[in-house]
């Protein structure tokens, strides 16, 4: 094939940018909030559920790849089950990032915006993040009800106390 007929491969930096853009687009389409951050010299994108303050994922760079999606344990368990069912587990590059203490336990690496497991990983993060937010809201409601009950009990006890100076 003549040189002018070859398809030009995108540069490594272009692949990295396209992969980050694809990840952020998928998260935005799922209704997530996207914010750019930096920790020292490291730039990353945090993904959270709107109005929750809870991060469900983060997009970082990837050594030897285009990008990595950092996720929590429950998201990884959802993704692991799905990639095992699809038979692509051996082609994934997964890294334990719990030791970095950034709130995430696993990093899934991508080589291009067309990786087959990219959408699966995003969906797992969104699904587990929404479930975690639902459980948090339930816990807060229970705590609020318990606090109200405690205040009522305190009022009742205060009304039965005798005044020592009466």
Task: Check which CATH number belongs to the domain holding 69 and give it.
Answer: 3.90.1150.20
Q: What percent of the chain has pLDDT over 70?
A: 95
Which CB contacts under 8 angstroms, 24+ apart, belong to 90-93? 91/117, 92/117, 93/65
Residue 130 confidence (pLDDT): 94
Would residue 155 count as lying in a domain? Answer: no
For residue 111, the enclosing domain spans: 3-132
Residue 4 confidence (pLDDT): 56
The mean pLDDT value for 159-165 works out to: 83
Residue 49 confidence (pLDDT): 93
Would residue 72 count as lying in a domain? Answer: yes
Q: What does pTM read for this prediction?
A: 0.82
Tell me how many domains the chain contains: 1
Would residue 156 count as lying in a domain? Answer: no
Would residue 66 count as lying in a domain? Answer: yes
pLDDT surpasses 80 at 7: no
Would residue 90 count as lying in a domain? Answer: yes
Would residue 30 count as lying in a domain? Answer: yes
Tens of pLDDT, residues 70-125: 999 999 999 999 988 888 888 889 999 999 888 999 999 999 998 889 999 999 99
Would residue 119 count as lying in a domain? Answer: yes
Would residue 16 count as lying in a domain? Answer: yes
Residue 10 confidence (pLDDT): 77
Average pLDDT value over all residues in the chain: 90
């Amino acid at each position: 094939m003549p040189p002018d007929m070859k398809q030009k491969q995108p540069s490594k930096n272009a692949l990295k940018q396209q992969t980050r853009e694809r990840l952020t687009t998928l998260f935005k389409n799922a209704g997530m909030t996207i914010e750019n951050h930096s920790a020292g010299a490291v730039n990353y994108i945090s993904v959270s559920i709107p109005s929750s303050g809870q991060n469900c994922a983060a997009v970082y760079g990837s050594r030897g790849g285009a990008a990595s999606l950092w996720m929590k344990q429950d998201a990884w368990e959802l993704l692991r089950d799905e990639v095992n069912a699809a038979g692509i587990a051996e082609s994934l590059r997964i890294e334990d990032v719990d030791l970095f203490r950034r709130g995430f336990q696993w990093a899934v690496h991508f080589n291009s915006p067309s990786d087959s497991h990219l959408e699966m990983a995003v969906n797992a993060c969104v699904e587990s993040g929404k479930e975690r937010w639902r459980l948090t809201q339930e816990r807060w409601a229970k705590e609020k009800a318990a606090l109200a009950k405690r205040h009522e009990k305190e009022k009742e006890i205060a009304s039965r106390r005798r005044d020592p100076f009466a």
